[in-house]
Structure 1
Amino acid sequence: MSTTSQFTERDVSEFFDQTTQTYLSFWDSEGVLHTGYFAGPDDTDYPAAADRTSDLLATEAGIDASATVLDVGCGCGNFLLRLAERTGCRGEGVDLSIERVRFALGKLTERGDGLPVAFRHGSATALPYDDGGFSHVVSQDALFLVPDKARSHAEMYRVLAPGGTLAVTDFLQPVAEIGEAARRHVYDRVRWSSGYSLDGYREALTAAGFEVTVARSLDDHIRQTYRVLGETARQRAAATDDEAARQWILGFAASCDEIQAAIDRGEFGWGMFVARKPA
């Protein structure tokens, strides 16, 4: 057994800047790059499952047209754009990867429909926003990458208005020590330093001042996500002429198999959390 490696924010940002175009080429060209909430083991419709995750989180958070939303780790911007389109909320997205922010800005420009949304480059540990400026802070599968998680929790608490809501899905590290295969294929692969168990995540949010109302395991859905993505990656690799890209995609497909094994061993998980900043 081994512990996880230690990565910096620079390590994380460089990895996602360097791999964004490759992920887009075989995962989803529209930039939907988060985990899906699948209807069951026979459901292989990844885009629909990813939308279902977004809609579930928005419902749990109670986001409507009156909301002002900050998406921390917004990636390619799809979650925030979907929120604004479906609920009429206003929002900002911030991400550590400049390449993903550029993609999000490009999507916003292409739409040209005047959605009240903006994106910017920045860190979850130093959010470039005033105190109490948002009614909701959301995040999908991003906060696990922050090396200083306590600082990111404090920042999200700071920018929430009193009575505001935090709603996130995030990856979990259910056990303190993990095997070498899980460390290499799950954690080191995306520059993930360390994480929380489901209970540990709830305790960390409570320590930051939040009142946690939902702490739910979503492990069944994350396993299906990587089963579907592994199959998709192998299909895309077979149709890819660029040898370097093909080998990278095949490596990702192999990691998807190892990720499923890590989930089965209890070394990797996924959860949803909803919390409130006291009024």
Structure 2
Amino acid sequence: MITTEEKTRKKFNSLKKHYDKTWDPKHHTLHVGLFSSKNDSLSKSFLNATEHLINKVNTSRTLDSRSVVLDIGCGTGQTLIDICLKYHCKGIGVDISDEMIKEANKKIKLINSKPSNLTAGILDISFIRSRASNIDKKLAKQKNTITHIISQDAIFLIPNKSKLFSNLYELMAPGGVMVIADFLSNETTKSLNNNEAQLIKELVNWDNGLSSATYKRILKRLSFSNIKIEQKNEDMVNTYKKLAHQMDEIVANPSRAERDLKNRYLSIVSAVKSKKIGWAFITAHKGYTPKVLVAGTKKYSLGRTIGNQLKNAGWDVWLYSRSAKIVSKKLWHERVCNINSASSVKTLLKETSDTHVIIFSADPGNGKGDLENLTVNGIKDLISTKLSGSLLLLNALLKNRPTHKIKLIWLAGKPTAKHKHLINYSVSNSALLSLVSEINRHYQDIFEAYYLNTPLISPSTLGDAYINTYGQELKKLSTPPKAVTEKVLDIINGKISPGLVNVNYGNNQDL
């Protein structure tokens, strides 16, 4: 028995040549247009609709070189190609029609063969012929990686829409956005009279639509959030009215198929005017729990203090250290990691690659001291503790090419004007501050780096150890962890620009 999807495939394969001639001869567009005025041509309205969709996508979640865009019902691929050309992102187009995918692949091959495009890099777009019901299998390797999903007048053709949206939710990366233009109905096409229903079914094989209320219920049940529906029925009327008129202008001696198309266009105009069907842009987001990776697991470590604050704010907190004990609770995890071991860092990032913030605790280790007491092992330990781990973790992150921007925060002491016995510590801090500056200079599309100029903190594991070594009178000069935590929260909430961030030291300006 032939499935509904297979019928749709055959219908669009057979009608493609007629659509190409009577819709958009240049780009072979096949979706409703948006009219800034009734005088807009069809080709202008199609461009308006695509621009409107792209703007909605980019406003909801910024498109950039790390984005992965999936186009459901991509047709000949023009919208996806336009997005990838403009934002240099990766694209995946899926359509049920063999003929549509064939033309899409021809387009991308032609574009990538032009020398002018090769200098900017080959467009990374894959076009796949597939049924929507099979998309979870076709794109199994893309689970949790798709940052943006788009679709223009295609989803209404799919029989099991709930299953499709469930599969799309699984494919989307946390924080991903879906923006689609689609036909709507009053629950089902039963409200249409027999003649209208038959004509529309013959045109697009549509016999089971969703109302705006049903759309919202399905998406909400699947955990989509921030769902918005923008109705554009008048634009649907103008599109099909102009298409019917254009048939008379373009086709001198219409074939039977072309005469049928004109009658079906007019039937859609009638159905929209009587409020039986409609057209809208639908926006929905995949919610996420932001994840933070923090150095420090000891009872009074600054990392643990910051972690507790972020957990209370709803963050998924991951602490790491060499001496950690494995903990896995809701919104709280602790992991063993030797930050100076590439393999240990790699293991840590397998669980935390989707983190949004990484907080480094750049403590002095055993390498602090004055020049008179300098030792080779002390220098090595200082470099290992302060710099090597940071560089290894950055290297691992870049190899995985994160799909979102990551805030990097180093908790480190004042880089200059320290006591004599901290001169080596001061030198390494200056190197770390230079690293932060260079990250913001060369990798601003991936990272935001911050050097948080922390004072002597007490109570804290390292701060109290320092006080015990150099005198209890320093306790009076210390700053509570709250001062640093507040600055960290300001950074995370976007209140502070990347670079050097000072904490109010009080009287301990040389510590």
- Structure number, greater radius of gyration: 2
CA distance, structure 2, for counterparts of residue 58 and residue 267 of structure 1: 28
8 Å contact kept, 1:237–1:250: no
Mapped pair 1:64 → 2:72: no
Mapped pair 1:254 → 2:263: yes
8 Å contact kept, 1:7–1:192: no
**CA deviation vs aligned residue, 1:129-184 (integer Å, no higher than 9, x gap):** 12112101111100000011111111111110111111100011125422113202
Structure 1 counterpart of 2:132: 124
Structure 2 counterpart of 1:34: 31
8 Å contact kept, 1:134–1:164: yes
Displacement of 1:212: 3.6
TM-score normalised according to structure 2 size:
0.51
CA distance, structure 2, for counterparts of residue 207 and residue 213 of structure 1: 11
**CA deviation vs aligned residue, 1:198-252 (integer Å, no higher than 9, x gap):** 11112111122211432111101111100111111121221x5xxxx62221221
Query: Which structure 1 residue ranges, 5 or more long, are not aligned?
Result: 1-5
Look up the equivalent residue of 1:121 and give its one-letter code.
Answer: R
Structure 2 counterpart of 1:13: 9
**CA deviation vs aligned residue, 1:55-89 (integer Å, no higher than 9, x gap):** 11111122522321000111111110111122322
8 Å contact kept, 2:147–2:177: yes
CA distance, structure 2, for counterparts of residue 213 and residue 256 of structure 1: 30
CA distance, structure 2, for counterparts of residue 83 and residue 164 of structure 1: 16
Mapped pair 1:100 → 2:100: yes
Question: Secondary structure of the equivalent of 2:178?
Answer: strand
Count of residues paired in the alignment? 268
Supply the RMSD in Å over aligned alpha carbons.
1.7
Structure 1 counterpart of 2:175: 163
Question: Secondary structure of the equivalent of 2:132?
Answer: coil
Over 3 Å counting, the alpha-carbon distance change for 1:249 and 1:188 in structure 2 is closer
Structure 2 counterpart of 1:144: 156
Structure 1 counterpart of 2:217: 203
CA distance, structure 2, for counterparts of residue 7 and residue 193 of structure 1: 13
Comparing 217-226 and 124-133, the one that deviates more: 124-133
Displacement of 1:187: 2.9
Look up the equivalent residue of 1:248 and give its one-letter code.
Answer: A
Look up the equivalent residue of 2:21 and give its one-letter code.
Answer: S
Higher relative contact order (CA 8 A, sep 6+): 1
8 Å contact kept, 1:198–1:216: no
Question: Secondary structure of the equivalent of 2:69?
Answer: strand
8 Å contact kept, 2:22–2:243: no
Look up the equivalent residue of 2:161 and give its one-letter code.
Answer: K
Look up the equivalent residue of 1:229 and give its one-letter code.
Answer: L
TM-score normalised according to structure 1 size:
0.91
CA distance, structure 2, for counterparts of residue 136 and residue 212 of structure 1: 15
8 Å contact kept, 1:70–1:92: yes
Mapped pair 1:76 → 2:88: no
**CA deviation vs aligned residue, 1:22-80 (integer Å, no higher than 9, x gap):** 2112222321111101113332x112211111111111122522321000111111110
CA distance, structure 1, for counterparts of residue 193 and residue 37 of structure 2: 28
Query: Which structure 2 residue ranges, 5 or more long, are not aligned?
Result: 289-511
CA distance, structure 2, for counterparts of residue 182 and residue 50 of structure 1: 25
